[in-house]
Amino acid sequence: MDLVAPVVVEPLRRRRCSECHRGPLDRMIVEFNAPVCLDCADLGHLVFLRRGDTALTRRAREASTLWAVVVRHNRRRTRYERQGLLVEEAALAEAERACLEDAEARAARRARDAVRRAAVDAGITAALLAEILRLFPSCPADRATEIAVHASAKGSGRVGRTAAGRSLDRGAVTAAVRASVRHVDTPYDSLLMQGVPRHQARTRVAPAIEAVLRTWRQDGGTTSGRERG
């Protein structure tokens, strides 16, 4: 269906209605070269919707039985430019409701996605935590949690987010624990701050790291010797 919407003009000069003689007019139609106000043109019940929101405009137009295009002449460009539409108030209200529901639906979907991502991350963290405590039963719980959270941090590319981390590769889990011990339980970071080259610093703290890992591997925090005895 090809609709020919009435064209409403925002006059640049002061114009009066040729029928009721009211003026100056903000908006008018032109009939037989004469300005006619919107009330006389039976468009007075319509409300102005400025252009800009495409979805709102489309919905308001589709819901309006009668609507009009509002234009203004641009002298510099010597052409009429669309300012917006005149639509039925009820149609505009309906369009605004629909757009709001869209926005709410989008927000709800974003929230659901976020919850799902959080659940995945929490799942990875929990699995990592369980694996850390299985491999290192004497690792303090807060340290194990810290390592698991750190390793599974979203978008970090750390062990928990790598393919190896997801499959809980023993080597990857141990690497995450070793890295934590290196930073927390050895002077590694201080050595780096003192200008010790990374490889030298690693070599120097390696025995201390292995000592901590040995302790953490023991069950129940007791030495294997005591367990045997």
Binding site for Zn ion (CB under 5 A): 17, 19-20, 37, 40
Minimal distance in Å, beta carbon 29 to Zn ion? 10
CB 29, CB 20: distance < 8 Å = no
Minimal distance in Å, beta carbon 16 to Zn ion? 9
Minimal distance in Å, beta carbon 109 to Zn ion? 49
Minimal distance in Å, beta carbon 43 to Zn ion? 11
Which tokens in the block code for residue 212? 């901590």
Q: Which is nearer to Zn ion, 31 or 102 (CB)?
A: 31
Burial label for 32, CB within 10 Å (0-12, 13-18, 19+), is: exposed
Q: Which helix (H) or strand (E) holds 122?
A: helix 89-135
Q: Which is nearer to Zn ion, 37 or 147 (CB)?
A: 37
Which tokens in the block code for residue 127? 């699995």
Q: Which is nearer to Zn ion, 45 or 134 (CB)?
A: 45
Q: Which is nearer to Zn ion, 23 or 137 (CB)?
A: 23
Minimal distance in Å, beta carbon 20 to Zn ion? 3
CA distances from 118 to 53, 124, 225 (A): 33, 10, 43
Helices (H) and strands (E) in the chain, counts: 8, 6
Q: Which is nearer to Zn ion, 17 or 49 (CB)?
A: 17
Q: Which residues contact 169 (CB under 8 A, 6 or more apart)?
A: none
Minimal distance in Å, beta carbon 11 to Zn ion? 13
Minimal distance in Å, beta carbon 24 to Zn ion? 12
Q: ω before 24 within 30° of 0 (cis)?
A: yes
Q: Outline where DSSP puts E strands in the chain.
A: 7-10, 28-31, 34-37, 46-50, 68-74, 79-88
Q: Which is nearer to Zn ion, 34 or 193 (CB)?
A: 34
The strand pairing partners of 69, in sequence order, are 7, 85
Q: Which is nearer to Zn ion, 19 or 53 (CB)?
A: 19
